[in-house]
Amino acid sequence: MTLPRLVATDLDGTLLGDDGRLSAHTEDVLRRVQELGVRVVVVTARPLRWMDELWDRIGGGRGVGIVSNGAITYDIESREVLHLHGIEAAAGLTMVEAVRAAAPGTAFALECLGGYRHEPAYVDLHPTPADMRVGDLAGLWDEPAVKVLAQHLTMDADEFRARAIEAIGEQATPTWTTDHLMEISAVGVTKGGALAALCQRLGVSPGEVVAFGDMPNDLAMLSWAGTSYAVANAHESVRTAADHLAPANTDDGVAVVLAGLYGL
């Protein structure tokens, strides 16, 4: 078996523990894998603003990362955006109204390169940045949104998801990582698409990639990679789609698999 030249991994629920932290063991394995000349690429739904503390520990302060479900490809060493694919306001506001009509009471937030902003009705479930803006969505949408967040805290989660996906149709790319929240990217934007584009630039084929994930937003990445692993705690759809099953994130599953593959 030819060893993978590139490791692509999701973060939350996959590489990180349930506390959102990187274990010392996993950090050590990632460092040793990279010392063998293997690239490690983080492919996450997290926004860019959540990554500053992790880049050095995961990527050694170098390489490339993919954030916001594939909307941004980022050069870690120079701290520069290499590629951004967002949703413009004109198309986005039309899509938002379609979701509101299908699921009355939906509240929206925008993740943009220039900052995070949301409507008054949107409930923040994570610590909010100091520069957060709150107001009318049309007024807030002054640059492309790398991710639109649609939230409905009272409707049945499956019902909300079904209504939102139908309303969005082909206007954008919807996915999800948690109940009551849809993550909406521009048309064609997925973790798999961004990873494929990056690998093409690097001269890495799908067969030279091993990928790890846990949620439906990882499916495009796992299906593209030549070898795919779902962690044991993954969503059922991900466990079904992946080639292999790794131990759970709380058991350093990614590190266990990589240590075995590379004989560490």
Give the pLDDT of residue 164. Answer: 97
Give the pLDDT of residue 186. Answer: 96
* pTM of the model as a whole: 0.91
- pLDDT by residue (tens digit) across 245-263? 999 999 999 999 999 999 9
- Closest listed residue to residue 215, CA positions, set 67, 7, 46, 14: 14
Query: Which residues does residue 149 pair with via DSSP β-bridges, in sequence order?
Result: 109, 183
- pLDDT by residue (tens digit) across 24-39? 999 999 999 999 999 9
Which helix H or strand E contains 241, and what residues bound it? helix 236-241
**Could you tell me how many residues make up the chain?**
264
- pLDDT by residue (tens digit) across 11-23? 999 999 999 999 9
> Given 3.30.465.10, 3.40.50.1000, 3.30.950.10, 3.40.50.150, which CATH number is that of 6-84+189-261?
3.40.50.1000
Give the pLDDT of residue 126. Answer: 78
Flag whether pLDDT at 208 surpasses 80.
yes
**Is 143:112 a contact under the CB 8 Å cutoff?**
yes
**CATH code of the region 89-185:** 3.30.1240.10
Residue-averaged pLDDT of the chain: 94
**Per-residue burial over 164-186, b = 16 or more CB atoms within 10 Å of its CB, e = otherwise:** bbebbeebbbbbbbeebbbbbbb
Give the pLDDT of residue 1. Answer: 60
Same fold, 6-84+189-261 and 89-185: no
Those residues whose C-beta lies under 8 Å from the C-beta of residue 37, and which sit 6 or more positions away, are 5
- pLDDT by residue (tens digit) across 170-194? 999 999 888 999 999 999 999 999 9
Those residues whose C-beta lies under 8 Å from the C-beta of residue 20, and which sit 6 or more positions away, are 12
Give the pLDDT of residue 214. Answer: 97
Q: DSSP 3-state assignment of 49?
A: helix
- pLDDT by residue (tens digit) across 98-148? 999 999 999 999 999 998 999 999 998 877 777 789 999 999 999 999 999
Query: Given pLDDT bands bounded at 50, 70 and 90, which one contains residue 60?
Result: confident
Give the pLDDT of residue 177. Answer: 85
Give domain limits for the chain: 6-84+189-261, 89-185
**Is 109:117 a contact under the CB 8 Å cutoff?**
yes
**Is 41:198 a contact under the CB 8 Å cutoff?**
yes
242 vs 52, residue with greater confidence: 242
End-to-end CA distance of the chain: 16
